Every structure is written in structure tokens, then in C-alpha cells.
């Protein structure tokens, strides 16, 4: 059963059609990659799924519920979490504190209770911290928990951002160029972590990525966009040999 179903999605800016009649689905325990040249419509499509751009036509359903009319906050609360290409950490907070910000919607204690330092508030804070540390350890970066986010390496920042997105146990994770700027060993580590999360936790992942070998290795299905339209879709080996993809995306 599909987690996400996008049907004939069109996004238009004035007379410019950025995404044109795109349809696809995302499943639990699978990685779907969106690739294509710059300006192909990948990020616009991501924004439409996250509620940051409105559809001119078409629908988006998540767990059989229409979400294309909801706000980004409402969509996030339903269980779709997104990371950003440019990063979104709070530099003045530690890595651990950044992850805890991702858990704030799951903390039931009142603000007054936290101020009063009540026993229940302490218990909630302790549980949230334990979960955040466990996730940091899962990503192999528990040792940076108390470091300021601004002092982390690019790879560590990327990992912390993914941990923060994972903190609320989302059924669907949207990763916007997770491997950008990472050294090959860190990129390989990230690839292995994404596959482990998908295979062991059964979450669905949709990712945008320009690092073609990263995409070919980590993905179950690849969809190729060009000028806002789908020009190919299939398993990595099918895409690697597709003539239209070679011409439009790989430049040969």
C-alpha cells in the first residue's frame, strides 16, 4: 500500500509551468529518488508535497488522506518530515538540543509545568533526551551531542538534521540533496544509514540528489524529471541505460 500518492500534480507560477501532470507513489520500506537537471521541477515538487507550494491542479494523498490543501505545519504533523539542501540547524544550540526541537510536538507537558520543573516535566524531558541520544547513536554521531551545531563538520550537520527529522518517527522522510558537499567516505556512510533506516524501520524515503552513484546505489526506484515532466521511471539499472535520461541528465 502506498504511503503517498501524487496524481497529475501541476504547479504553475504565472505563465510558467514548473511541474506538469506528475504522478507517482511512495511506499514504506522503499527509497524513491527524484533526479533531473537544474530547473527540472524537483524541488518545486518537494515543496508541493510539504505544503510549501500550492497545486494548480491534481491531488496529493498521504495514508489515504488528501493533504494538498493543508499547511506545511499540518502536513508535518501528519508524519511527513523534510530536510533542506542548505541545512536548517540552530547554530547556537548543541546537536542534542537541535534534535530535541524536533521532538517538541510530542512533548505533552505544559509550558507552565516545564517552568515549574515538576516531576512529570522532568520525566518527559528525560525520555525525550534518551530518545534523541539513541537516534544520534544510530547515526554514529553520539559523540557530538554536546557540541555547538555551528562547530560541526558539514557531514555531521547533515546527520544531525536527518536525526531531527527522524525524531518523531515519521512514516515518510523527504531528503533534499542529503549527500551534497560530503566527502566520499561520509557519503558512503550516509548511504548505508539511509538503507538501514528504510530496511529496518520500514519508513519511506523520497530523495532529491545530484550525486548519481549515490542515487543508483541507495534507491529502489528512480524518477527522472525534465522541464517539469517525467521522462523516465524505473529501477536504477533501467535508468542508467535509458537514452532520454542520458541525453537530458547525463549529457550524452
How far apart (Å, rounded) are the C-alpha atoms in residues 221 and 189? 20
Task: Provide the b/e sequence for 79-105 (b: ≥16 CB within 10 Å).
Answer: bbbbbebebebeeeebbbbbbbebbee
pLDDT of residue 150: 94
123-137 confidence digits (pLDDT tens)? 778 888 998 998 899
All CATH 3.40.50.300 domain ranges of the chain, comma separated, are 27-55+68-79+170-252
Is residue 72 within 8 Å of 101, Cβ to Cβ?
Answer: no
Q: Is the pLDDT of residue 242 over 70?
A: yes
* Pairwise pLDDT comparison (103 vs 58), residue with the higher score: 58
Question: The C-alpha cell of 96 is what?
Answer: 542534542
pTM, two decimal places: 0.87
How far apart (Å, rounded) are the C-alpha atoms in residues 61 and 84? 22
In this prediction, residues 187-199 reach a mean pLDDT of 88
Is residue 223 within 8 Å of 232, Cβ to Cβ?
Answer: yes
11-38 confidence digits (pLDDT tens)? 999 999 999 999 999 999 999 999 999 8
pLDDT band at 222 (very low <50, low <70, confident <90, very high): very high
CB-count exposure of residue 243 (10 Å: 0-12, 13-18, 19+): exposed
CATH of 27-55+68-79+170-252, one of 3.40.50.300, 3.20.20.70, 3.50.50.60, 3.40.228.10: 3.40.50.300
From the CB of residue 150, how many other CB atoms can be counted at a distance below 10 Å? Answer: 11
* Pairwise pLDDT comparison (190 vs 51), residue with the higher score: 51
pLDDT band at 121 (very low <50, low <70, confident <90, very high): low
In this prediction, residues 134-157 reach a mean pLDDT of 90
Amino acid at each position: 500500500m502506498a504511503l503517498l500518492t501524487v496524481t497529475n500534480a501541476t504547479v504553475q507560477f504565472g505563465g510558467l509551468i514548473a511541474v506538469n501532470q506528475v504522478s507517482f507513489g511512495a511506499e514504506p520500506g522503499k527509497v524513491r529518488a527524484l533526479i533531473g537537471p537544474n530547473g527540472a521541477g524537483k524541488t518545486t515538487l518537494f515543496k508541493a508535497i510539504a505544503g510549501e507550494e500550492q497545486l494548480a491542479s491534481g491531488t496529493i494523498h498521504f495514508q489515504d488522506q488528501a493533504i494538498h490543501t493543508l499547511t506545511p505545519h499540518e502536513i508535518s504533523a501528519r508524519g511527513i518530515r523534510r530536510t533542506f539542501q542548505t541545512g536548517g540547524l540552530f547554530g547556537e544550540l548543541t546537536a542534542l538540543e537541535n534534535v530535541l526541537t524536533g521532538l517538541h510536538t510530542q512533548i505533552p507537558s505544559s509550558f507552565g509545568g516545564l517552568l515549574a520543573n515538576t516531576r512529570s516535566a522532568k520525566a518527559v524531558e528525560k525520555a525525550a533526551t534518551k530518545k534523541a541520544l539513541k537516534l544520534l547513536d544510530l547515526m554514529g554521531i553520539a559523540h557530538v551531542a554536546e557540541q555547538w551545531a555551528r562547530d560541526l563538520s558539514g557531514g555531521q550537520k547533515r546527520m544531525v538534521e536527518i536525526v531531527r527529522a527522524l525524531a518523531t518517527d515519521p512514516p515518510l522522510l523527504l531528503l533534499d540533496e542529503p549527500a551534497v558537499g560530503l566527502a566520499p567516505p561520509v557519503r558512503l556512510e550516509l548511504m548505508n544509514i539511509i538503507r538501514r533506516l528504510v530496511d529496518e524501520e520500514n519508513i519511506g524515503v523520497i530523495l532529491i540528489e545530484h550525486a548519481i552513484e549515490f542515487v543508483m546505489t541507495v534507491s529502489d526506484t528512480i524518477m527522472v524529471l525534465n522541464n517539469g515532466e517525467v521522462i523516465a521511471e524505473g529501477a536504477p539499472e533501467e535508468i542508467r541505460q535509458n537514452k532520454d535520461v542520458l541525453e537530458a541528465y547525463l549529457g550524452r
